[in-house]
Amino acid sequence: MKGRVENPLSRSISKPLLLFIDLLIIILVLFGYNLIIGGHTSSELEVLTLGLIAFLIIMSGHIASILLVPVAIIEIMLGMIASGFGAKPSEGLLLLSNIGANLLLFMAGSEIDIRLLKRRAYHSVILGSISFLISSIIAIIIYLKFELSVGALLILIAGFSATSVALTYSILKSSGLLSTRQGQLALTSAMIADLIGMLLLSIATASIDPIILFYIVILMGVLAIGPLLPRISGSPFEFEIRLVTMAIIVLGVASEIIGMHSVLTSFILGVVVSETVRNRKILQEKLESMATGFFTPFFFIVSGMKVDPTLMLNSIFMVLVVGLCVALLKMLPSYIYFKHIIGASPWRSTILSASQVPLLTVTIIASEAGIMLDLIDNSLYNTLMGVVIVTSIISTVISSRYSRRHGGKLF
């Protein structure tokens, strides 16, 4: 034989072995970090923590490729583990995380296709409304059981009703369903769910303060970029990339100064320039590379570092129950709708409904905003972050299994 036949057993062993090696290296580095953090100045500690996070960002990408799960989930989990070894986010890291959150919501907004929403409006609104009603019921049950505030209730509804447009897009594209009518409907319904989530988040975090006028002035100036982008496209040195990047950074810094969350405005900015960004593939690719390669990993890892591992372990049963309820109650009506109303096949309906399940970007943003504004406590924050992990894993596993069975390959 000219070629070497690959042993399936060795191939199956290699991934667990690689995962074990990765985790062993991470644990050793975290132990070393824990041993040397004592006796250092705050600036030295910040440098050490920054180096640790840079290392975790690199390792998270490799682990995600082994487990075939979204890298954001691995980054959150590694941030939680690092927190257990004494790693705490400094002011500099919080600023990078804030910029990452703004860039993440800008990219999410740029994926909203207004024309596509108009074409699929009827069914998309129905599916989005179903998701909203189910999420509201789950949130109200938690609200009544634990006697939460109205602000916390809105945060829960916003977090549960939204989904991850980026992850939905990846699932549909990898399964070959993105270009189909059913795939486009699933994507637009995810967009509707995100819009509802962001609207509720804006209501929950609304406040009246004279200093907000300073932020509004900056916002109006930033939103003026939208009509200008088509005119300056193709300018030397990719000026439009710098313009968008600086606008997002200015929003992040301004929100840090006045103590408010600016993700809604970044999301609006993304929607305003969405058509230009989608039409300029080079611009879109460079923005995505900058986001996923640098800023947004800081946001996900820092979000994980804010989780209390002890509280998470103590509430693991509730996390699993809520996560499974959210996943099943969002997936089942979607499956029935796709199969019996739209007429999709059973395997297609399974993948399409699973794409509506994952809670990621908006849910994490809602959790961050809620804890920053004292609308939720650490226990509820930990529960929401756990639910994000559970729903994303369930969605990925189901989609991967059915996609591979019918010729697709997830991620």
Asked if residue 7 has pLDDT above 60, the reply is: no
pLDDT digits (tens, 9 = 90+) for 95-144: 888 778 778 778 777 777 777 767 767 888 888 888 888 888 999 999 99
pLDDT at 272 over 80: no
Q: Hey, what CATH topology would domain 18-405 get? A: Na+/H+ antiporter like fold (1.20.1530)
**Per mean pLDDT, which range of 11-15, 137-141, 332-336, 356-360 is the poorest?**
11-15
Q: Encode pLDDT of 158-183 as tens digits.
A: 888 888 777 787 788 777 787 788 88
Residue 355 and residue 172 in contact, taking contact as beta carbons nearer than 8 Å: yes
Contact 187, 232 (CB under 8 A): no
pLDDT tens digits for range 281-338: 777 777 777 777 788 899 889 888 988 888 888 888 989 999 999 999 889 989 998 9
Residue 368 has pLDDT above 50, yes or no: yes
* Listed residue (149, 151, 248, 136) closest to 206, CA to CA: 151
Instruction: Give me the residue spans of the domains in the chain.
Output: 18-405
What size, in residues, is the chain? 411
Between 3 and 235, name the one with better pLDDT: 235
For residue 405, the model assigns a pLDDT of 61
The whole-number pLDDT of residue 82 equals 92
Q: Is the pTM of this model over 0.85?
A: no
pLDDT attached to residue 31 = 92
Is residue 261 over pLDDT 60?
no
Q: Using CA atoms, how far apart are residues 171 and 193, in angstroms rounded to an integer?
A: 17
Q: Residue 217 has what pLDDT?
A: 59
Mean pLDDT of the chain: 79
